[in-house]
Structure 1
Amino acid sequence: MPLLETLPVGPGTAQWPLWSTTARLVVTDPDALPVARRVVEDVTRQVEAACNRFRPDSEIMMLPGDGSPTPVSPMLAELVTTAVLAAERTDGDVDPTLAHAMNAAGYDRDFALLGGGPIRTFLAAPEPAWRRLRLDGDTLTVPAGTQLDLGATAKAWAADRSAAEVARACGTGVLVALGGDIATAGPAPDDGWRVLVRDQAEDPVAPVTLAAGGALATSSTVSRIWDHGTAHHLLDPRTGVPAKPVWRTVSVAAGTCVEANTLTTAAVVRGLDALPWLRSLGVPARLDGASFTIVALGEWPS
């Protein structure tokens, strides 16, 4: 997962292991830190209970596989809505129905427990299953034989929601980073939120300053890897196997972490085609090529 360095560790900062990565919390009011951490832990606990596909008791894993309509919690309904909007935004490059393909690729348990193994073939359906998802109020219908994987958007959503909830509950400026997904809310420090983003320790460094309310996401093909480095966790929905690693990492700054993560994930899937696409969107982006060639687009913050 991408490395993140924020303000020096002190009374206004905390970090702890979460989802095979690290949760980092920074608040401008150190006195608010204990309550802020409880807020973040509560949000991430609810997200995990709703959609962790490695927990057999999670709501997403208890959905029937026969295509029947099923009542779901407001949390899962919102997470599914977010995932479908990301699929629509990217023409299916960010697909929430790839759980079976993920399992076939070998990512069938929590990453910390992943031992590797050969990639198995998974044949995608002619029509993407995400187009056949139906959510009517609190009733979700998942096509028969389809299993959801909301990982591409749920972690970013959790960062956005956590930051917003901390700012509301504590009246403080806050930065929440869940691995490579960073969201801020409330007033920023006088010199902005200063972060240093990179993937591996030997990679080029990307210093970034985010204004209040800014968000940043980084997607990587060199962090969550297995099978001796031949597989990573970002699949091409059209093939069902890991996308070609044209980019080591892609970072995007946006108004929400969900938006930023949606674009970085799709950019990895699109490879070189991501360049004209991101340019057309006018978003600040930084793409680190396989040979450490850096491409910066838009008004990349520095």
Structure 2
Amino acid sequence: MPSDALELIAENRSFGGWHRRYRHRSAVLDCEMIFAVYLPPQAESTRVPALWWLSGLTCTDENFMQKAGAHGVAAELGVAIIAPDTSPRGTDLPGEHDRYDFGSGAGFYVNATQAPWNAHYRMYDYVTEELPALVGEHLPLNGRHAISGHSMGGHGALVCALRNPGQYTSVSAFAPIANPTQCAWGQKAFSGYLGDDPAAWTAWDASELIREHGSELSLLVDQGEADNFLADGQLRPEALETACREAGVPLTLRRQPGYDHSYFFIATFIADHLRHHAAALR
């Protein structure tokens, strides 16, 4: 399949719009990839803005689209949603499928520099360059983009927005891995993808990026207080809060009592995030 071609593999009518899954050949990742898009009813007559959704560990393009309950609000607001996969697929590198938090389903939205991962694991370039160019060519989008995500994908959303000023109108996250250089998940992934020098990791850490460069965007973050990964020290929203305060970056960090790390949490607050992004996308 040519790298500039899209193959429609599934579609479902939803709230007057269309949920579609596409396959394409990624030159950046050197493999075939699948991504999902929700096109609201307005996309049948005009070009619409898009929210990019980056999912977390073990997810694919399907989790958010099926579980978050976002289509109805997106249809009301006239916003498309684009959900990439979370890692390259079909590469079958040694040990790639052995762990849930490294390798398949765990690309961490970085550009790997270490062999053999650097041949395929370039999810940052994929979600910020290759896939936006592809959907911009083939889908009825107007060129205005926002970005959000959950857990590993919340980390990815923050990093993509912070490293690309002007590319996104707004950014938000659900329970992001906010300080990956200082948690077990991040240290494991970064040492594998980026090498053993922690100095090379800071360019992929939202808290460190804000501390060093600030941000032109305000941040919206929801964090469930009953999240077991919060208690385990994997998420570290306090580090993001401190970095934003010290850098003068506006942060709305909403701590939600009783909510865990699941899609019930996301489904409860996704409408708030969609409306937040829609206001900026206008």
- TM over 0.5, yes or no? no
- TM-score normalized with structure 1 length: 0.29
Q: Higher helix share goes to which structure?
A: 2
Question: Which structure has the bigger radius of gyration?
Answer: 1
Task: Report which structure shows greater RCO (CA 8 Å, sep ≥6).
Answer: 1
